[in-house]
């Protein structure tokens, strides 16, 4: 019995050591898995942004290739998460990004339920910190998009979506209450359908080292509910280009233009400047208006298969129709680190610190972000 117990202890130690070795190899090894096997990873959610504070929860990430033999086939990614944050956000979302064999079809889906307290500053490119008004937003969002490659590198698509919002003002008497130009203060619903056109030569949809992606979408919201509900169009243009400077350095540039046009445009559909992808360092929604124009460049350094770093810089502004002015561009710059939890597919966790403008009588605008996947 004593010999049996000693043997059992040695077996347990060996199993534990083997398990730790596999864990280290899975998350810290510099090796890549060339078998193109699917990866299924339960991931703890730990993210941070100035809008929501520290977000934590649980998620599942499944990544696979629908054609393992075709090395040009892009990875299809499926994710689900449930999280809460230190600033009172509750978020449940399901997403998929699917590439079929030969990358002939591309499907994107998103279903999200969210409750999020946030700071509202008003509308325009020159809002003031002193006007900050605390709101609570509840929202539901469903988006379905399908694209088909009709010509080499050219995808034509169709999309439909539905969004519902409702708001509570935690500080009655602030700018949200007083500003009569703000439409749909209690929220509302919008359903839309549209078309997309994409030109895509990127060598990867996760960590791109060379290639171009240019996409334009036109979404139209018809008058389904009558009354003062929004009727009009949202147009988005997004361009990304990447150059491999060496085996370790990649230069990427990204530009976008969003415009909301139509009757009774609600404040919550207006393009907003600032998030963890574009104009890092600015609080999301600090500046919002009918038009958003922004651009950025990012120099990426891949130390090895697991770790990397970036520096970035950009500029942008929001403006009313006819209100564009070159002098109104705001700066954004910063740096960050990268950890690739799936090196073969280029899936990463990133930490970024962004710096924005310093306005008179206000602190310089900055933001720290912990996020999944590259900024663009």
Q: Are 206 and 75 within 8 A, CB to CB?
A: yes
The whole-angstrom separation of Cα 247 and Cα 55 is 35
- Parallel, antiparallel, or unpaired for β 76-85 and 39-49? unpaired
pLDDT at 216: 98
**Residue 88 φ then ψ, to 5°:** 90, 15
Give the H/E segment covering residue 287.
Answer: strand 287-288
Query: What residue has token string 């996760």?
Result: 206
What is the full DSSP assignment across 92-158?
EEEEEEEE-GGG-EEEEEEEEEEEEEEEE--SBSS--GGG-EEEEEEEEEEEEEEEEEEETTEEEEE
H-helix segments, the chain: 2-27, 175-178
The whole-angstrom separation of Cα 283 and Cα 207 is 26
Burial string for 279-296 (b: 16+ CB within 10 Å, else e) reads: bbbbbbbbbbbbbbbbbb
State the pTM of this model.
0.88
Q: Which residues contact 259 (CB under 8 A, 6 or more apart)?
A: 234, 235, 271, 290, 291, 292
List average pLDDT for each run of 10 residues in the chain, which is 376 residues long. 46 48 58 74 74 84 93 94 90 96 97 94 96 95 98 97 94 90 92 98 96 98 85 97 98 98 94 97 96 98 97 98 97 97 91 96 93 92
pLDDT at 42: 78
pLDDT at 135: 95
DSSP state of 178: H
The whole-angstrom separation of Cα 13 and Cα 103 is 46
Q: Are 79 and 62 within 8 A, CB to CB?
A: yes
pLDDT at 52: 80
pLDDT at 233: 97
pLDDT at 4: 43
pLDDT at 283: 94
DSSP state of 17: H
The whole-angstrom separation of Cα 88 and Cα 94 is 20
Q: Are 117 and 283 within 8 A, CB to CB?
A: no
CA dihedral sign, ordered 96, 99, 101, 105: positive
**Residue 114 φ then ψ, to 5°:** -145, 140
259, 262, 260, 256: which is closest to 279 by C-alpha?
256
Q: 3-state class of 276 per DSSP?
A: coil
């Amino acid at each position: 019995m004593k010999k049996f117990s000693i043997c059992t202890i040695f077996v347990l130690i060996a199993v534990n050591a083997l398990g730790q070795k596999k864990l280290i190899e899975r998350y810290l090894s510099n090796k890549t898995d060339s078998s193109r096997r699917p990866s299924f990873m339960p991931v703890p959610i730990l993210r941070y942004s100035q809008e929501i504070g520290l977000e934590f929860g649980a998620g599942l990430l499944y990544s696979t290739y629908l054609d393992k033999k075709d090395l040009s086939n892009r990875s299809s990614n499926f994710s689900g998460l449930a999280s809460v944050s230190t600033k009172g956000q509750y978020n449940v979302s399901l997403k998929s990004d699917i590439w079929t064999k030969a990358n002939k079809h591309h499907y994107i889906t998103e279903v999200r339920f969210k409750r999020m307290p946030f700071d509202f500053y008003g509308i325009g490119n020159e809002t003031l910190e002193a006007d900050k008004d605390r709101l609570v937003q509840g929202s539901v969002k469903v988006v379905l998009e399908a694209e088909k490659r009709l010509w080499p590198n050219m995808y034509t698509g169709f999309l439909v979506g539905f969004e519902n919002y409702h708001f509570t003002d935690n500080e009655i008497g602030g700018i949200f209450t007083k500003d009569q130009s703000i439409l749909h203060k209690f929220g509302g619903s919008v359903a839309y359908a549209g078309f997309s056109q994409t030109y895509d030569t990127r060598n990867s949809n996760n960590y791109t080292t060379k290639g171009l992606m240019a996409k334009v979408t036109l979404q139209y919201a018809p008058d389904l509910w009558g009354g003062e509900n929004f009727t009009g169009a949202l147009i988005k243009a997004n361009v990304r280009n990447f150059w491999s400077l060496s085996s370790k350095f990649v230069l990427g540039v990204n530009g976008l233009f969003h415009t909301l046009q139509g009757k009774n445009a609600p404040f919550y559909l207006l393009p907003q400047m600032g998030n963890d992808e574009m104009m890092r360092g600015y609080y999301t929604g600090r500046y919002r208006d009918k038009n958003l124009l922004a651009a950025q460049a990012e120099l990426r350094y891949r130390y090895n298969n697991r770790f990397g770093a970036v520096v970035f810089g950009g500029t942008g502004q929001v403006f009313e129709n006819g209100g564009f002015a070159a002098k109104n561009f705001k700066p954004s710059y910063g740096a960050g680190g990268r950890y690739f939890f799936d090196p073969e597919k280029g899936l990463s966790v990133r930490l970024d610190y962004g710096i924005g403008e310093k306005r008179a009588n206000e602190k310089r605008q900055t933001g720290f972000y912990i996020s999944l996947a590259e900024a663009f």
